């Protein structure tokens, strides 16, 4: 049996990452995978690495679509015990091949890593990013049945309530928030600003704000869509790879589907499991479990 504790999208929240690490160790994981978006700068990345590097089990680390490359590499050099995988995309571990796919096809402005879905790489990308080609990932597959993909971003699933469903809110007309609602939706500090109270028609809201506004009766229409990488889906299906762990889309976290898109419950065993472990930033994560060519998952919230 292989048990992987997953920490993804910590976004500088070292305390939450540390709580997840401790929870995983109590669950008896074989390794912890820190799968990108550790933070936006050296200070945040270092804090998260320090919180997980104390683990008694191997710690696998690779970047997401937020880390600036100089800050990321400067931070990882301080921790000799971690297994840094931004340049090593295949790792043999306990009879399995772990295929590593950092970052995403969409990146933060100053991020240093990016996925390219096609075969051609724009010349501007070569100067700015460390590039990861999904088409080249296929060359690393030796035994599909024993391969687990660890990807920062999810594959495109095409089904509702799947692991790649993102949502945003759009104001259908102008409105003014009540101060108490502004505090609940945006937090105490930002609620003091007029920007938190006055909103115009067509304004777009983040996922975590959209649902709160809609539930309170404000004129916000929530849009949902599948935003996973289609090239990653084609790769998984063409190579018949059945196990994957990812993150990136926070609102689709702590969910799993089969390779055909059917939802799986926590603890439900299946011959294929694609799992979004959610955002560690909010104390959410999970464990991917593989045993006798079947898999399941366990959500962990701390």
CATH superfamily of 2-158+228-301: Metallo-dependent phosphatases (3.60.21.10)
pLDDT tens per residue across span 216-275: 999 999 888 899 999 999 999 999 999 999 999 999 999 999 999 999 999 999 999 999
Tokens of 240: 């018949």
The CA distance from 233 to 73, in Å, is: 29
pLDDT tens per residue across span 131-146: 999 988 999 999 999 9
Specify the pLDDT at position 185.
Answer: 85
Residue 16 has pLDDT above 90, yes or no: yes
Radius of gyration over alpha carbons of the chain, in Å?
Answer: 19
The CA distance from 287 to 297, in Å, is: 5
pLDDT tens per residue across span 151-175: 999 999 988 889 999 988 889 999 9
Question: Can you give the residue ranges of every domain in the chain?
Answer: 2-158+228-301, 165-225
List of residues 6+ apart from 226 with CB closer than 8 A: 156, 157, 158, 159, 162, 164, 165, 166
Residues 28-36 have a mean pLDDT of 98
Smallest Cα–Cα separation from 67: which of 94, 102, 28, 91?
102
Residue 21 has pLDDT above 90, yes or no: yes
pLDDT tens per residue across span 60-111: 999 999 999 999 999 999 998 999 999 999 999 999 999 999 999 999 889 9
Mean pLDDT of the chain: 93
Smallest Cα–Cα separation from 216: which of 190, 166, 182?
182
Residue 12 has pLDDT above 60, yes or no: yes
* Angle of CA points 258, 260, 265, to nearest 5°: 30
Specify the pLDDT at position 199.
Answer: 86
For residues 160 and 302, the model is more confident at: 302
pLDDT tens per residue across span 188-217: 656 556 556 788 888 878 777 888 899 999
């Amino acid at each position: 049996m292989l048990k992987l504790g997953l920490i993804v999208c910590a976004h500088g929240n070292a305390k939450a990452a540390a709580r997840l690490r401790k929870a995983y160790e109590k669950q008896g994981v074989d390794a912890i995978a820190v799968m990108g978006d550790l933070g936006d700068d050296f200070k945040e990345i270092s804090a998260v690495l320090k919180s997980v590097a104390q683990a008694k089990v191997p710690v696998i680390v690779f970047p997401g679509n937020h880390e600036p490359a100089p800050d990321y590499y400067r931070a990882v050099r301080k921790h000799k015990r971690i297994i840094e995988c931004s340049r090593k995309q295949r790792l043999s571990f306990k009879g399995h091949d772990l295929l590593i796919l950092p970052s995403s096809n969409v990146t933060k402005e100053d991020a240093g890593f990016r996925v390219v879905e096609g075969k051609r790489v724009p010349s501007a990308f070569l100067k700015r990013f460390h590039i990861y080609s999904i088409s080249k990932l296929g060359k690393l597959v030796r035994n599909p049945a024993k391969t687990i993909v660890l990807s920062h971003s999810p594959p495109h699933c095409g089904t509702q309530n799947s692991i790649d469903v993102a949502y945003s809110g759009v104001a259908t007309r102008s409105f003014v928030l009540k101060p108490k609602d502004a505090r609940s939706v945006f937090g105490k500090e930002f609620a003091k600003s007029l920007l938190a109270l006055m909103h115009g028609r067509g304004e777009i809201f983040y996922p975590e704000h959209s649902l709160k506004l809609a539930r309170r009766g404000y004129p916000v229409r929530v849009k949902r869509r599948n935003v996973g990488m289609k090239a990653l889906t084609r790769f998984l299906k063409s190579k018949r790879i059945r196990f994957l762990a990812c993150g990136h889309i926070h609102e689709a976290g702590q969910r799993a589907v089969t390779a055909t898109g059917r939802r799986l419950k926590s603890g439900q065993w299946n011959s294929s499991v694609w799992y979004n472990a959610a955002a560690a930033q909010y104390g959410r994560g999970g464990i991917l479990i593989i045993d006798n060519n079947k898999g399941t998952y366990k959500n962990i919230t701390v």
